[in-house]
């Protein structure tokens, strides 16, 4: 069992070893700037759970995950509908983040892609956070395809609401690069076998802490803070306070 970053309770672990998921992990146990800790078994992040084995699905349901928030685009859902779309013991919600894939292709760096997402996807970002603030959905899991970019942004916003330091948020983001090695190796091999250009894939796949740090700095410089950005896109202070209460113990 991997050690949690916060050793307060060794019963909990950061990475969740669900067979068929590579990047599933709990965001509990992080120290906040105001002396608290993020709550375990509340918000999880992951790559797509579509490849979970039967044993992996049982572990997810037993965690117990009550709600799945799927950030994938319509085209991704057509290719691979969620195995949880019919309920199967959990509540399923799809809110597409970066639905227009053409916009993603305009970005020339990951940091630019993240800034573009934060500027052009404000409505779905607001919808996800409002849903989390107003519905009884926890524990919930947020995922996209590989659980690094769209999921990484949503988790960074949630950890910011919880007053987790930027360095810690960036470190959490960077764990994806370590955990996704087997999945990305397989994806790279498939692209090469199909004769596709893998150059864009290569710069999209890293998860360096500096990238997330730069993204959070962008929000601070443009809006004043992450919370000011969230207020700007339409969340209320009451909703931010509610999310803070949910996320922090």
CB-CB contact of 119 with 57 (8 Å): no
Mean pLDDT (the chain, rounded)? 92
State residue 11's pLDDT score.
66
**Residue 167 to residue 99: CA distance in whole angstroms:** 29
Which parts of 7-156 are beta strand (E)? Answer: 25-26, 43-46, 67-70, 91-94, 140-143
Give residue 165's region: left, alpha or beta (phi > 0; psi -120 to 50): beta
pLDDT at 148 over 50: yes
Entry pTM: 0.93
Nearest Cα residue to 212 out of 181, 177, 245, 183: 177
User: Which class does domain 25-247 fall in?
Assistant: alpha beta
Give residue-wise pLDDT tens across range 211-249: 999 999 999 999 999 999 999 999 999 999 999 999 999
The neighbouring-strand residues paired with 25 are 15, 45
- Per-domain residue ranges of the chain: 25-247
């Amino acid at each position: 069992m991997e050690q949690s970053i916060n050793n307060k309770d060794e019963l909990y672990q950061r990475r969740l070893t669900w067979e068929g998921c590579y990047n599933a992990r709990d965001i509990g146990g992080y120290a906040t700037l105001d002396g608290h800790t993020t709550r375990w078994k509340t918000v999880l992040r992951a790559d797509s759970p579509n490849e979970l084995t039967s044993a992996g699905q049982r572990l997810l349901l037993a965690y117990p995950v009550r709600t799945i928030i799927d950030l994938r685009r319509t085209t991704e859902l057509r290719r691979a509908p969620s195995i949880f779309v019919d309920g199967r013991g959990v509540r399923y919600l799809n809110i597409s983040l970066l639905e227009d894939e053409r916009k993603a292709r305009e970005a020339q760096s990951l940091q630019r892609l993240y800034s573009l997402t934060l500027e052009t996807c404000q409505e779905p970002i607001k919808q996800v956070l409002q849903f989390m603030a107003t519905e009884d959905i926890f524990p919930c899991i947020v995922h996209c395809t590989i659980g690094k970019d769209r999921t990484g942004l949503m988790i960074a916003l949630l950890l910011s609401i919880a007053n987790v330091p930027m360095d810690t948020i960036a470190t959490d983001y960077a764990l994806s690069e370590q955990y996704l090695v087997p999945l990305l190796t397989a994806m790279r091999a498939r692209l090469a076998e199909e004769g596709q250009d893998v150059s864009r894939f290569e710069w999209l796949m890293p998860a360096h802490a500096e990238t997330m740090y730069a993204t959070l700095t962008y929000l601070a410089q443009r809006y004043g803070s992450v919370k000011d950005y969230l207020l700007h896109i339409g969340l209320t202070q009451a909703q931010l306070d509610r999310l803070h209460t949910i996320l922090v113990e």
